[in-house]
Amino acid sequence: MTTGSSRELPVCTCPLVDSATGAEATVVAIACADRDACRLRVMGVYEGATVSVIDKKHCLLVDVRGTRLALGAELAEGITVLTRGIPAS
């Protein structure tokens, strides 16, 4: 439930792969192999980090603190994010 003005977008959680292009999201959980999770965290994708989806054509291209990362759909499926608005279909 949101509070404040009616112009605020709803807050929801979804896999990063389902986030809309152009959306900013906050990482809330990483559920993948330990090796992959460790590598993601080293690259700046950790719980509490803000990521922005740049493109979703061939892979998921995200911006993390000014750095662009390309993530495969399977890996991005294991990253749960909190986003404003409605996830892409």
Residue 88 resides in a domain = no
- CATH value at residue 51: 2.30.30.90
**Which residue shows structure tokens 């809330």?**
28
Which percentage of the chain shows pLDDT scores above 70? 82
pLDDT at residue number 1: 42
Q: Are 80 and 14 in contact (CB under 8 A)?
A: yes
Token pair recorded at residue 64: 């993390």
Residue 5 resides in a domain = no
Nearest Cα to 16, choosing from 61, 67, 68, 65? 61
Q: Which domain holds residue 60?
A: 21-80
What is the average pLDDT across 2-11?
Answer: 55
Residue 85 resides in a domain = no
Residue 66 resides in a domain = yes
**What does the pLDDT look like over 13-42, one tens digit per residue?**
999 999 989 989 999 999 999 999 999 999
Residue 15 resides in a domain = no
Is pLDDT above 70 for 71? Answer: yes
The answer to pTM > 0.85 is no
Number of separate domains in the chain:
1
